[in-house]
Amino acid sequence: MSDPRGPLVDPAWVQQHQNAPDLRLLDVRTAEQYRSGHLPGAAHLDIFALHWWDSSPTGLEQFRQQHAAALGAAGIRREDTVVVYSESSDMLAARGLWVLTILGQQRAYLLDGGLRAWQAAGGPLETGEPVARPVEYQAEWHPEPLAGWQDVLAALGRPGTVILDTRSTEEYTGQRVRAKRGGAIPGAIHLEYTANLGPDGRFKSPEELAALYRAHGITPDQEVIAYCHGGYRAANTWLALTLAGYPTVRNYISSWGEWGNRDDLPIEQPG
């Protein structure tokens, strides 16, 4: 099996390798969406059901155990080549790839454009329930792309570090409140994650992404910590910045769902 040049694969690559014994397709949409039509032979894991609001050291260990168990239940092994997909290159697909990355999956990729791109390329679909042979997923912890609340707090005002809010404008300004408190992490730059994708639901080119983030004052020499409400939209931005060649990007796993519900952490309400 030929290795892709980066973390994205296209439908042609999947079609070329779909009969490889170690290739596993992982559908991370809801069970209802999976049943209505999925890539042939795909395993299923509803990634959005695995919210996590505790980024303390104990909470992160529980996070690792929970997600390793979920992958094992879906029949995913560390030695597999895994291609994760959703409807498009959306927050669910990116979250799935990010989880695989921090759990040490060496060959993990995202189907760029997702199910929409697959169908546009003439790829067939199956319907019905997933059939999995559960295994014990042997996770190897690689937390480099992950940040907890303590990491974010320590980074506030630190030269060379950017806190990046990937939520909607209404959430960023506090007009829409989805936690105990509304607003933003102090000093955060705002750029909604949807800017990462083109109209076809694929990621923009690395050059376009680099220009986009440079225009917002975010450069590759900086450390970037992205957040949203639950670490899904921020995972999409983590991947976008990775594609653009930014070497140090972290996803604040529990994001505003944790930060906004804690009275001991600072907030601001941008105008």
Tokens of 100: 């695989």
Give the list of residues 6+ apart from residue 177 with CB closer than 8 angstroms, or none: none
Tokens of 229: 């409400």
- pLDDT above 80: residue 271: no
The answer on 40 and 76 residing in a single domain is yes
Q: Among residues 3, 40, 50, 12, which one has the least CA distance to residue 235?
A: 50
Query: Collapsing DSSP states into helix, strand and coil, what is residue 70?
Result: helix
The answer on 252 and 192 residing in a single domain is yes
Whether 228 is catalytic: yes
d(CA 51, CA 110): 20
The answer on 105 and 14 residing in a single domain is yes
The answer on 166 and 100 residing in a single domain is no
Give the model confidence (pLDDT) of 5-43 as tens digits: 789 999 999 999 998 999 999 999 999 999 999 999 999
pLDDT at 6: 86
* Domain around 174: 146-259
The answer on 68 and 152 residing in a single domain is no
Give the model confidence (pLDDT) of 232-265 as tens digits: 999 999 999 999 999 999 999 999 999 999 999 9
d(CA 35, CA 72): 20
The answer on 217 and 155 residing in a single domain is yes
Domain count, the chain: 2
Domain boundary among 105, 120, 135: 120
* Amino acid at position 237, single letter: T
- pTM exceeding 0.95: yes
Instruction: Exactly one of 224, 228, 244, 267 is catalytic; name it.
Output: 228
Beta bridge partners of 84: 26, 110
